[in-house]
Every structure is written in structure tokens, then in C-alpha cells.
């Protein structure tokens, strides 16, 4: 999403693009439907990645550090649980 653009506007633009794409391929061969569907899925994937991962550079490093810290903590808990037969919080 662009900065200062409300979610409703982004959804409305997306729906308009989908409707235009479907209208453009009415009566077209099957492979064109598949091509349009793949393009729409790729666009959805790009938007999903942009929504999940921070786009501002000052936040990006913090996000990756937190993600790594969380994975290392989960690994330590799993290794501790494997050694004792229970999770660290179970007593």
C-alpha cells in the first residue's frame, strides 16, 4: 500500500482491476484465463509480502532482529524440551 492511502481505497482499486481483467478475457481461450489468474495471484503475493514485511528502512532492521531472536528462543525451548521431556514452562 502507498503511504496515506486508506485500506478501503486499495481494496476498491484491486476489485476494479480484477473486474477489468475478467471483462477483458470474456470469450478468450482457456490459456489466457490461466495467464490472467497467475498475474492476479502474483499481484496478491506482492501485496501480502509488502503488508507483512516493513517497508521503512528504520523498521526493517528491528523486524529482522526480532524475528531472529524469536527463532533462536524457540529453538532453545525445543532443545530444552527434548532434553528433559517437557517444555520449559511445564513444572
More confident residue, 29 or 7: 29
**Residue-level pLDDT at 71:** 92
Any idea where the domains of the chain sit in the sequence? 1-52, 56-91
Grid coordinates representing 60 are 526493517
**Residue-level pLDDT at 11:** 75
Encode 17-49 in three state secondary structure.
Answer: HHHHHHHHCCCCCHHHHHHHHHHHHHHHHHHHH
Q: What is the pTM of this model?
A: 0.46
**Residue-level pLDDT at 1:** 47
**Residue-level pLDDT at 5:** 62
Rounded to 5 degrees, what angle do the CA atoms 29, 48, 46 make?
A: 55
Q: What is the pLDDT of residues 21-77, one digit of tens each?
A: 888 878 888 888 888 888 888 888 887 777 777 666 677 778 788 889 999 999 999
* Distances, alpha carbon 68 to alpha carbons 73, 78, 87, in Å: 9, 15, 20
d(CA 2, CA 37): 24
Amino acid at each position: 500500500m502507498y503511504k496515506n492511502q486508506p485500506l478501503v481505497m486499495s481494496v476498491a482499486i484491486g476489485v476494479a482491476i480484477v473486474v477489468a481483467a475478467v471483462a477483458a478475457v470474456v470469450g478468450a481461450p482457456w490459456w489466457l484465463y490461466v495467464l490472467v489468474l497467475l498475474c492476479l495471484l502474483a499481484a496478491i503475493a506482492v501485496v501480502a509480502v509488502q503488508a507483512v514485511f516493513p517497508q521503512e528502512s528504520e523498521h526493517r532492521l528491528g523486524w529482522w532482529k526480532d524475528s531472529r531472536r524469536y527463532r533462536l528462543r524457540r529453538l532453545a525451548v525445543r532443545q530444552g524440551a527434548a532434553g528433559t521431556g517437557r517444555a520449559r514452562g511445564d513444572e
